[in-house]
Amino acid sequence: MIDALGYTFMQNAVIVSVLASIACGIIGTLVTVNRMSALAGSIAHASFGGLGLAYLAGFNPLIGATCFAVAGAAGIAAVSSKKRSRTDTAMAAMWATGMAAGLVFIKLSGTYSADLMSWLFGSLLAVSSSDIAFAAVLDIVILLVITGLYKEFLAVSFDQEFSMLQGVPTHFIRGLFLILTALTAVLLMKITGLIMVIAMLSIPAAIAGMYTGSLWKMMVLASILAAVFNLAGLSLAWMLDLPPGAVIILIAAFAYAVSLIIERVRSGTT
């Protein structure tokens, strides 16, 4: 494993893994406490439509995915601000429509299917310097937004109506949260693939939630856990010659199962 670090692609993989953990831990915590993992899933799948369109029209797939993810997040924000019961339907429709549109565009473009597979299942060993830049910029934006508006994010997540009565711009905060979720989902697609994004946004935060009593501690622990899962998965995948995205998810799922058992035992004995 150590000698693998001599390769540039491996260095890039390690850097992106660590950078993505920060976005993943912070946004994943907000997704988890707001019970919006289905939303994160539908945003990730909607972005597949953007990927297909990018291949067809010949521009950078990352841009296509980002645009579709953000547009999907904005669409859901618009629907959910009016009526909560419709959000569920809108998310399900977006999930499937994104995939369907992506498949049609990709067929029309005649793209080789290996490209497609790398977006669906991750391509951690093929990240570029532009991916690293994307991750770094996103981390900075997320850190600035969360430190500046922490009390508002906490309040809106805990009790939206009360926050509204306190003059907090709740729709603005929700919209910002959805857009940051969309961008994080696109970033994580590079690592685990869009099919497994939902796991990286929920598992580290869910484990962190079992051991912490405040939102910011949960964010910090979730980020650390995500980094551990990413690096452990990357190393193990390298040694066993397996796809890193899948190994990362399996390690995270195993840690989650162990945490659940520990929690069960603890609550049983006390």
- Nearer Cβ to another protein (162/254): 162
Residue 51 or 225: which CB sits closer to another protein?
225
Residue of 239, 168, 234, 264 lying closest to 12 (CA atoms)? 234
- Minimum Å gap between C-beta 156 and another protein is 10
C-alpha–C-alpha distance, residues 123 and 66, integer Å: 17
The CB-of-79 to another protein minimum distance in angstroms stands at 16
Q: How far is the CB of 230 from another protein (least distance, A)?
A: 23
CB nearer to another protein: pick between 108 and 165: 165
Shortest reach from residue 36's CB to another protein, in Å:
14
Residue 43: alpha-carbon gap to chain centroid: 9
Residue 94 C-beta: closest distance to another protein, Å: 24
Query: What residues make contact with another protein under the rule CB under 8 A?
Result: 33, 148-149, 151-152, 154-155, 157-159, 161-169, 209, 212-215, 217-218
Residue matched to tokens 């729709």: 171
d(C-alpha 144, C-alpha 202), whole Å: 22
Residue with tokens 């994004």: 197
Which residue number, 107 or 151, has a Cβ lying nearer to another protein?
151
Shorter beta-carbon distance to another protein: residue 196 or 225:
225
Helix, strand, coil in percent for the chain, rounding step 5: 90, 0, 10
Q: How far apart are CA 162 and CA 195, in angstroms?
A: 36
